[in-house]
Structure 1
């Protein structure tokens, strides 16, 4: 440790950090040289559809548990208390809905890319629009995901900035390009274990140095860091129970419902049941990750209180505090700082490698294969590997661009990534839940959603930067305000509650947790309106497998609620109740048991008719 409070790695720390990188590459080499040796696009891009639910669930969790979240969530809890913990409530619906709606629809269509769905449901134009939007989203975030932890590490430990950037980017590129999705998934499993181990080590040592669990609890309660349930309905308040538990649902849906990186994992499972189970198993994994991050924030407060390292100018932003805390607490335990840095970069590696693989997939399946249908599978596989390598180089270029644009634009990049997820969610919801939505409505709705997202997001950012900033939010080094906006990693901004705003400025003050809900709603509303004006999609032109029968299900439930006496009448036997239930759903028993097979199908609802036809063909 020098006079400026900066701490440095010991040789053991460097060895542990290097071992993480070597192990990640080794996993990629193993899968490149074993099994089918990644010789087909099915194996390279979809792991030969052979993955089990346990590694899938850990990979699903690791994909968006990025390094930004590992350093951001503890800093949020340290600064503003445990209100953010309530985002765990959103995990329930945020994972149940994908498990029972999105996964069955995508899996039964035997897709390779999530955006193939958009062509089956709408048109090739909608598919290309969705693909290009996703590529724009992920390319920006790749640079952010690599640069952010490297910058924090450089500021606190003196670790070479571009050495960390190159190490992360090149390692990801090598094992993703060599081992494909299977290597990415199993590397995620390894990196998840390292991530949890690093966080646990820091928490245990921090609790011990703070005087034990009882002392930690006393300090955080006296410091007012244990938050109650805030039921304030104001959507401009950054964190309340409503913004976290309900606004967070839409954020989770944009991540675990329709994002290519996650959909690709669902499609790689052996069966639809295992895909659904992997989604269920993500819930406890996310809860453990959230609990560890929040506990670390509380332990940080117990150790430092209000006398934080920023006041001593050891670090220049709250995002750097986690690494400073780690180096400070573990400086007498050689190897443990290296373990946590390995944990931090594990989160970064898992996110970036998933981005590489998903980008290579959508580029190959949506932008190249449709125009070169005669391409051999061997050539397509080789091209997919080249694309993964190319996106690795693009990641490094984006990291350099973000470095040149400085921290304020880094915040803009994070907000752009969060804003794009909402419109994409709205586009898929428009197709899955509304039969009458057409291609024109889909394109118009997506455009409207993106315009609104950028208007609100960038307008809010400019309004925040132009408003009066308290002096304590700056340092002599010229660091900008500690306010960040939405990111895919569910990173929270590290600020105090904003002051009340009115008019257009109040509109710009919308909590980032409502971004996905707001933007996706714009896409759906505009898409439905334009579809009705231009002519709704006719049933004859609709692929029934691309639609979830939400209206039919709701109608059935309403009919049951409107006639509760029928289902509670003790004088009716089970056969009579079943017969009536069939008749109110449009496929009464007499019609279903008479006539030819084709005639009987016409009495079934569209979704069931499609399923019956699929079973018959098999």
Structure 2
């Protein structure tokens, strides 16, 4: 390859990038003046619950596939090899469990937001996640692209189509942006492979350079990447993202039927595998072209992530327009994630903070306020981007802190949905314990590595979706085989970042159950069937019948919940019972409003088993 240290966009690249922004804004304008014209909160925040399977699944994928992931996966494979690919093994259970456990509970209760806990976590954490996808735009210095022009253009266009078109516009722009992401990655791989001498030559160089990793079955949880850390630990990370993440849950609930919501998880599974393979293949093509003598070693770039953009500019230097396509691909990943954040923040603020205190607010005022909230969050995100540019390492610390929240939140949902005797005191104490453990391990690991003089790799050396990809800053250093194995507290600090979500969620569940039993477990009369998923009885099959019945006394059989055609989704009294079961995780509603969930209480049959009847 010709050594080129200064490469910049040409006119055609800017044109292609501008077309992306214009198309995204156009979709928002279309939905602003079509259909119901976003005149109700249900249409603006929930897309009238009318979305089909395909756009929902592609939107789920786009929200996951941020600009951070597009840049980070190739650089991970280039540096460490294809071991990262085994993360794909976690996708199956990571999507199957949400499809058949979380979606039925959320969808049948007709919720609008995933959890009231967002008062404390989502509203403070989601703007930080906006920074996570804006931050990689600073890498565009390699292309000569003006940083603030990029941030302002992306932020304003994203805010525009989110405010005007609501969730429908967000989902359909995600579909468009997913196509752009695939096109950009494929273009880089095809041209790069051609310049490297073909796919056979790419594979040969990857093998000779020890970049093709085998199946590592080492059970040591301190190892950075093994089959178990990626394939098993990754399941919990995926559950935190696709099971209880408000942005994803909101998309499930926008589906026309529960079946289509479930199918969206099945459709996104092969798409995730394709995206993962494209990222790994791009990293191998980079290695085939540069080998061990990378642009980073030559001083052309300052970080491993800039190396990906340098690679794109180098490969496409004789093909004007294609660099613009790849940058449009990166912007698509950022736009899809940020627009999801804006819409989700507006939904949570409206449904969980404002409506309970202003129950008589008219629909017109509520819709207008929802749009104003989306606009305000967009402007706040732009302001935080400016602060990030002058705060340096604070941003990196914010990423790590946000990543530690995913596991405890997953544990909190599991505590309420799977254990009928868990009470609100146990939930609060369990959550506090999980968060304390998360920050203790995360901060302790960072301090230990800094004090030992071990250099901390760049933020995106390994990229993971949504929550736990932020913790890689403290966990992605290769350890020499001669290094003494850590013991005691140091071993805890050396835990692989892929186990963070599992470890922290387990802490919440264990502590929450112990505290619930000590303070008085939840009583059967305090729960409504449908808020507890019936899995505990199956797991405790080895116990005598009387003990199982006592432990699972309020766990209903699998059932469909009939929705009353005239009920407002945000005023269902069954959501009130979910607030007890999930420990203040659902909406607080008025007990005087009609119920959507027409279910009778469980009763004993002649055989002593409990059933739940549904009135149709």
1:447, distance to aligned residue in structure 2 (A): 1.3
Question: 1:438·1:536 contact (CA, 8 Å) conserved in 2?
Answer: yes
Deviations 1:524-577 (A, max 9, x none): 1111111011100001101221100112233569899xxxxxxxxxxxxxxxxx
Any residues of structure 2 matched to 1:420-499 within 5 Å, and which?
Answer: 420-469=405-454, 488=466, 491=469, 495-499=476-480
Counterpart of 2:114? 114
1:336 aligns with 2:339: no
Question: 1:46·1:267 contact (CA, 8 Å) conserved in 2?
Answer: yes
Q: Distance in 1 between matches of 2:174 and 2:600?
A: 49
Aligned-pair Cα RMSD in Å: 2.6
Counterpart of 1:593? none
Name the count of aligned residue pairs.
559
1:309 aligns with 2:295: yes
Counterpart of 2:138? 151
1:175, distance to aligned residue in structure 2 (A): 0.6
- Does the residue aligned with 2:296 lie in a helix, a strand or coil? coil
Any residues of structure 2 matched to 1:229-268 within 5 Å, and which?
Answer: 229-268=215-254
Counterpart of 1:348? 334
Counterpart of 1:123? none
Question: 2:64·2:465 contact (CA, 8 Å) conserved in 1?
Answer: no
Question: 1:418·1:486 contact (CA, 8 Å) conserved in 2?
Answer: no
Question: 2:411·2:509 contact (CA, 8 Å) conserved in 1?
Answer: yes
Question: 1:247·1:516 contact (CA, 8 Å) conserved in 2?
Answer: yes
Counterpart of 1:134? 122
Any residues of structure 2 matched to 1:211-222 within 5 Å, and which?
Answer: 211-222=197-208
1:506, distance to aligned residue in structure 2 (A): 2.4
Counterpart of 2:574? none
Q: Distance in 2 between matches of 1:489 and 1:343?
A: 22
Question: 2:401·2:439 contact (CA, 8 Å) conserved in 1?
Answer: yes
1:401, distance to aligned residue in structure 2 (A): 2.4
Deviations 1:146-189 (A, max 9, x none): 122x11112x1121111111111111111111111000000000
Counterpart of 1:508? 493
Question: 1:417·1:486 contact (CA, 8 Å) conserved in 2?
Answer: no
Task: Name the CA shift for 1:309/1:387 in 2 (closer, same or farther; >3 Å).
Answer: same
Any residues of structure 2 matched to 1:599-614 within 5 Å, and which?
Answer: 601-603=603-605, 609-610=611-612, 612-613=613-614
2:154 equivalent among 168, 185, 198: 168
- Does the residue aligned with 2:530 lie in a helix, a strand or coil? helix
Task: Name the CA shift for 1:94/1:244 in 2 (closer, same or farther; >3 Å).
Answer: same
Q: Distance in 2 between matches of 1:271 and 1:586?
A: 22
1:186 aligns with 2:188: no
Q: Distance in 2 between matches of 1:183 and 1:25?
A: 9
Counterpart of 2:29? 29
Question: 1:243·1:513 contact (CA, 8 Å) conserved in 2?
Answer: yes
- Flag the structure with higher helix content: 1
Moved more, 178-187 or 548-557: 548-557
Task: Name the CA shift for 1:230/1:61 in 2 (closer, same or farther; >3 Å).
Answer: same
Q: Which runs of 5+ in 2 are unaligned?
A: 546-554, 558-598
1:17 aligns with 2:17: yes
Q: Distance in 2 between matches of 1:206 and 1:548?
A: 49
Say which one has the larger Rg: 1
**TM-score, with length taken from structure 1:** 0.86
- Does the residue aligned with 2:36 lie in a helix, a strand or coil? coil
Counterpart of 1:319? 305
- Does the residue aligned with 2:121 lie in a helix, a strand or coil? helix
Task: Name the CA shift for 1:237/1:373 in 2 (closer, same or farther; >3 Å).
Answer: same
Task: Name the CA shift for 1:87/1:605 in 2 (closer, same or farther; >3 Å).
Answer: farther
- Does the residue aligned with 1:315 lie in a helix, a strand or coil? coil
1:508, distance to aligned residue in structure 2 (A): 1.3
1:542 aligns with 2:542: no
1:402, distance to aligned residue in structure 2 (A): 2.2
